[in-house]
């Protein structure tokens, strides 16, 4: 097949391109940037801004069999929940989706995948960390706790409207906290698993790592390979969604940190500090995907975390080496 992956320079997009290539497809990637940590295996890579409809017209061509739309202005809690980036997130991601939906319609693209998010679920159903409600039908009445979630909900509706009015085949997944190697691990857009792995890898034995909030907020985390598998199964099915793609293994952020510490092999203590946290509880409800696609994630959180920790530890060591090299080259700095 001929496939376009929008957001191919990002974490999930890059892994998806790799898998699509391994499966024997011809793949074009488009993004503002190339993947940060590894060369893209895409056959063609367009560097461009999808807020510009001309870039969408260049990337979305009639020969395509599938389009995966993953491009978005996004990040972890430190980016999405502070309120500082609300206007940019809504403006940038809505423009990308408006342009992509229209380009797919104009070019008769047979099928598009859209990456929505667990962040669309109403805040009022996620106050109890032990019993969050995130079944697909609980999305309305809508009350996402972030503008990021509102934009995702708007774009879900946009693609569904294109399906109803223009016959565009859409597949929509609500992804729940995807993690793994080759993802952002520093700089402010990283998410909890990567941030905790980095903090543990940087800490000295006997030291302390910081956690935002009281650590009792709960989440489920899905390893990247399983996310890609879920996306492909949904895309090749006759089910439009929206459907959750996530794990069922719910842990508190404190438990997540303790797992990372154990993997690091260090003796580290936790310090709870104020910081953006999002909702108190969130758990992927996986009954619908199981019923419609017969699929569920199977890998344990500990397995995925061990692979992620190893990769981030390597990044930390390499960046320390680079800092040391720069200091030696410029001793006056
Ligand atoms: P990411 O930030 O690593 O990837 C997004 C990519 O979009 C980036 O490479 C970025 O450069 C690109 N992009 C942003 N603005 C663009 C523009 N104007 N033109 C072209 N490219 C642009 O994020 P990710 O974790 O790979 O997430 C991929 C998608 O899945 C996003 O839509 C995200 O909202 C969604 N999602 C991710 C998670 C998760 O846990 N990672 C959870 C729910 C939903």
What is the percentage of the chain residues whose pLDDT exceeds 70?
97
Name the band, by pLDDT with cuts 50, 70 and 90, for residue 332.
low
* 327 — pLDDT class (breaks 50, 70, 90): low
Q: How far apart are CA 285 and CA 134, in angstroms?
A: 6
Question: Has residue 333 been placed in a domain?
Answer: no
Establish whether 148 is a catalytic residue: yes
Alpha-carbon distance of 212 to 251, in angstroms, equals 15
Averaged pLDDT for residues 270-290: 94
| 23 is a domain residue | yes
**Per-residue pLDDT averaged across 42-62, rounded?**
98
Ligand 1 atom with the smallest distance to the CA of 118 is: 43
pLDDT of amino acid 323: 73
CA angle at 64 for the pair 58 and 66, rounded to the nearest 5°:
115
In tens, the pLDDT along 66-114 reads 999 999 999 877 888 889 999 999 999 999 999 999 999 999 999 999 9
Q: How many CB atoms lie within 10 A of CB 123?
A: 15
Q: Cβ of 128: how many Cβ atoms within 10 Å?
A: 11
Residue 241: per-residue pLDDT: 97
Residue-range definition of the domain harbouring residue 87? 2-176+224-245
For residue 77, give the nearest of 323, 320, 280, 247 by alpha carbon: 280
Domain count, the chain: 1
264/199 Cα distance (integer angstroms) = 10
pLDDT of residue 80: 87
Looking at residues 192-196, what average pLDDT do you find?
A: 96
Mean pLDDT of the chain: 95
Ligand 1 pocket list (CB less than 6 A): 7, 9-13, 31-33, 49-51, 70-74, 92, 96, 115, 117, 175, 177-178, 191
pLDDT greater at residue 174 or residue 189: 174
The distance in angstroms from the start CA to the end CA of the chain is 53
- Model-level pTM? 0.96
Domain assignment of residue 257, yes or no: no
261 within some domain? no
Annotate 73-96 with b (16+ C-beta within 10 A) or e (fewer).
bbbbbbbbbeeebbeebbebbbbb
Q: Is residue 9 part of a domain?
A: yes
Q: Is 296 part of any domain? A: no
> pLDDT, tens digit, for every residue of 204-236?
999 999 999 999 999 999 999 999 999 999 999
pLDDT above 90: residue 324: no
């Amino acid at each position: 097949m001929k496939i376009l992956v929008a957001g191919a320079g990002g974490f999930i997009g890059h892994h998806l391109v790799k898998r699509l290539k391994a499966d024997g497809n011809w793949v074009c990637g488009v993004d503002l940037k190339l993947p940060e940590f590894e060369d893209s295996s895409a056959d063609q890579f367009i560097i461009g801004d999808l807020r510009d409809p001309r870039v969408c017209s260049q990337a979305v061509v009639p020969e395509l069999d599938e389009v995966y739309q993953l491009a978005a202005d996004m990040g972890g809690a430190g980016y999405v929940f502070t309120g500082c980036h609300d206007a940019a997130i809504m403006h940038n991601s809505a423009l990308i989706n408006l342009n992509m939906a229209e380009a797919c319609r104009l070019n008769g693209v047979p099928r598009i995948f859209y990456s929505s998010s667990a962040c669309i679920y109403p805040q009022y159903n996620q106050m109890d960390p032990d019993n969050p409600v995130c079944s697909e039908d609980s999305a309305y009445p809508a009350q996402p706790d972030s503008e990021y979630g509102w934009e995702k909900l708007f774009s879900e509706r946009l693609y569904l409207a294109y399906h109803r009015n223009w016959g565009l085949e859409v597949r929509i997944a609500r992804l729940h906290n995807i993690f793994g190697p080759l993802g952002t691990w520093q700089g402010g857009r990283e998410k909890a698993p990567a941030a905790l792995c980095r903090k543990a890898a940087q800490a000295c034995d006997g030291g302390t790592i910081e956690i935002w909030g009281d650590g009792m907020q709960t989440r489920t985390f899905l390893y990247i390979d399983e996310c890609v598998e879920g996306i492909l199964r949904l895309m090749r099915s006759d089910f439009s969604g929206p459907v959750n793609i996530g794990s069922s293994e719910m842990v508190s952020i404190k438990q997540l940190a303790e797992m990372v510490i154990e993997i690091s092999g260090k003796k580290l203590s936790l310090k709870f500090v104020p910081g953006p946290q999002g909702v108190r509880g969130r758990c992927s409800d996986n009954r619908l995907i199981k019923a419609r696609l017969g699929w569920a994630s199977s890998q344990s959180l500990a397995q995925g975390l061990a692979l992620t920790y190893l990769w981030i530890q390597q990044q930390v060591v390499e960046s320390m080496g680079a800092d040391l090299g720069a200091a030696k080259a410029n001793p006056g700095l």
